[in-house]
Amino acid sequence: DTEVTQTPKHLVMGMTNKKSLKCEQHMGHRAMYWYKQKAKKPPELMFVYSYEKLSINESVPSRFSPECPNSSLLNLHLHALQPEDSALYLCASSQVEQSNQPQHFGDGTRLSIL
Amino acid sequence: SQQGEEDPQALSIQEGENATMNCSYKTSINNLQWYRQNSGRGLVHLILIRSNEREKHSGRLRVTLDTSKKSSSLLITASRAADTASYFCAFVGQTGANNLFFGTGTRLTVIP
């Protein structure tokens, strides 16, 4: 079992739907991350939150909207997605946003856009 | 692109053999990390080596780093079937922020 919990595990949605992915950690970590991983490819960073504030946005389209309501929770709101957005979405956390901190990953949400 | 390159892309060995995978990158780095990903699961951190270190050990894992060649290698000794997974190197630039750039990955299969 991982210490970072992501829900749902699977999500199928149409291009006009609005849905949210949820990530939770109770390790007291103050940095949280969203990654996108296509099949047989490495993860690609989307967003970084540090102390509940958005720290890095890797030029992600606005149809992806992150939210960090508190230090334990990270959401990714989805709206008007495209078929190419189908992927595994991984959440991770680290103690703080410093480069010597290993990241702890959840098992991801597998998203399919119809 | 700041993505790293790994080789081989895929590696198949018998249980008990050693497995070596290599990572190359293009930028200056602060540290380099290795992660494992089992099929359908998230990534698990294995080991971190700082830019001023040349070699590091953790159990059956041995990592080397050559910053002059911008390359790293991961050696898994006495492999087990449970080591079957994809292995990614990941590195952080010198900005100090913890935004990881991952290598292309090596798919390791250990045959019992």
- Predicted confidence at residue A1, as pLDDT, reads 53
> Residue B30 has what pLDDT?
86
Q: What is the pLDDT of residues B46-99, one digit of tens each?
A: 999 999 999 999 999 999 999 999 999 999 999 999 999 999 999 886 666 678
Q: Which of A42, A55, A99 lies closest to B88 in CB terms?
A: A42
Residue A44: predicted pLDDT? 94
Total CB pairs under 8 A between chain A and B: 69
pLDDT in tens, B6-50: 999 999 999 999 999 999 999 888 899 999 999 989 999 999 999
A29 dihedral zone (left: phi>0; alpha: psi -120 to 50; beta)? beta
- Side chain identity at residue A66, one-letter code: P
Contact A20, A77 (CB under 8 A): yes
- The C-alpha angle B50, B90, A77, rounded to 5 degrees, equals 130
Q: Which residues of B touch A97 (CB under 8 A)?
A: 97-98
Is the pLDDT at B5 greater than 80? The verdict is yes
Task: Write out chain B residues lying below 8 Å of A7, CB-based.
Answer: none
Render pLDDT for A37-77 as a digit per residue (tens, 0 to 9): 999 999 999 999 999 999 888 889 999 999 999 999 999 99
What's the CA gap between A106 and A76, in Å, rounded? 14
